[in-house]
A and B are shown apart, each in its own frame.
Chain A
Amino acid sequence: MSTFYSGQAGQLYINGTKAAKVSQWSFNAAQSTLDTTTLEQTDRTAIPGIRSTSGTCSLYYYEQDSGANSCSELIDYLIKPATDHAAAPGVAPLSQKVTLRLQSGASRYIQGDVWITSASMTMAVGAVLGAEVTFEFDGAPSLDTL
């Protein structure tokens, strides 16, 4: 059956678990090219170079009855407190990769291991707390059925 996909069908999975209260996700796949133009040619030629995939997602800071908080879980892959702040304030555990699945429908998604590259949160009067998270894929996506 012909169909459109909209935000109602969108989902985000963090390490295989569906994240709660996701307001948006997006990704960008890019292909660089390597110039192969030689002196006898009049028009630029190229071969494929390196691909890269990155994206963003926004989650509300929503705590479920179970205590689970997808937003908190995700930003914790980036934000690491110092192991011994008094002795070595500049030493903290390294960031960890996380597996994200950006799903546009029941069987339509792109999945891969990503590094969280930024997370920003703003608490404001009259607004629900949430986080804007950017990420970059480590290598190619592991699954892609988009």
Chain B
Amino acid sequence: MTAYPAIAPSSRSYQAGDWPVKTFNAQDGAEVRILYGDKRFGHTLDLSYRNIPDTQAEEFMLHYFSVQGTYQTFALPTSSGVAKGWEGNLSFYNAGYLTQWRYAGPPVLTSVRPGVSTVEIRFSAVLLAS
């Protein structure tokens, strides 16, 4: 697998996901929630790399190809640069116990001017079969 590019993102957006909870409402309005698992899932990580050289933009495509698009799951090591600028615990950007990232969709590459592009990426966390 090609290493994920060690480039600091221009912007990063993290959505925390949730536990597998099902909610039932009685006719009088009372709510009952059933927890079906003990692991959080479904978190997403949106990354934007704005106005980077085309050669760097190409690195993101190579990583996407190496994990067969949305098929394979992987961890994002702290060396990947994904967490740059985050001053909290770096493990925060690991997907979590028995959880890994995969591409939620193909990276979007937008050419800005000759030699310069913008790349938008969305990762989705998936629970591994235990």
Contact = CB atoms under 8 A, between A and B. Distances in A.
Interface string A1-44: 00000000000000000000000000000000011111111000
Interface of B: 7-12, 50-52, 84-86, 112-113, 116
15 contacts: A34-B51, A34-B112, A35-B50, A36-B10, A36-B51, A38-B7, A38-B9, A38-B10, A39-B11, A39-B85, A39-B86, A40-B8, A40-B84, A40-B85, A47-B116
A47 B52 CA distance: 9
Contacts of B50: 34-36
A126 interface: no
A39 B52 contact: no
Nearest to A49: B113
Interface string A39-55: 11100000101100000
Nearest to B8: A38
A50 B12 CA distance: 26
Interface residues of A, number: 11
A38 B52 CA distance: 10
Contacts of B112: 34, 49
A39 B113 contact: no
Contact of B85 (A34, A35, A36, A38): A38
Given A47-B116, A50-B113, A36 B52 contact: yes
A38 B84 contact: yes
Contacts of B113: 34, 49-50
Nearest to A47: B51
A143 B12 CA distance: 45
Given A37-B10, A38-B84, 17 more contacts: A34-B50, A35-B10, A36-B10, A36-B51, A38-B7, A38-B8, A38-B10, A38-B85, A39-B11, A39-B12, A39-B84, A39-B85, A39-B86, A40-B85, A41-B8, A47-B116, A49-B112
Q: Which 7 residue pairs are nearest across A and B when measured between Cβ atoms?
A: A39-B85, A38-B8, A34-B51, A40-B85, A40-B84, A36-B51, A40-B8
A40 B11 CA distance: 10
B120 to A, nearest CB: 15
Nearest to B50: A35
Contacts of B51: 34-36, 47
A39 B45 CA distance: 15
A45 to B, nearest CB: 10
A82 B11 CA distance: 52
A35 B86 CA distance: 20
Contacts of A34: 50-51, 112-113, 116
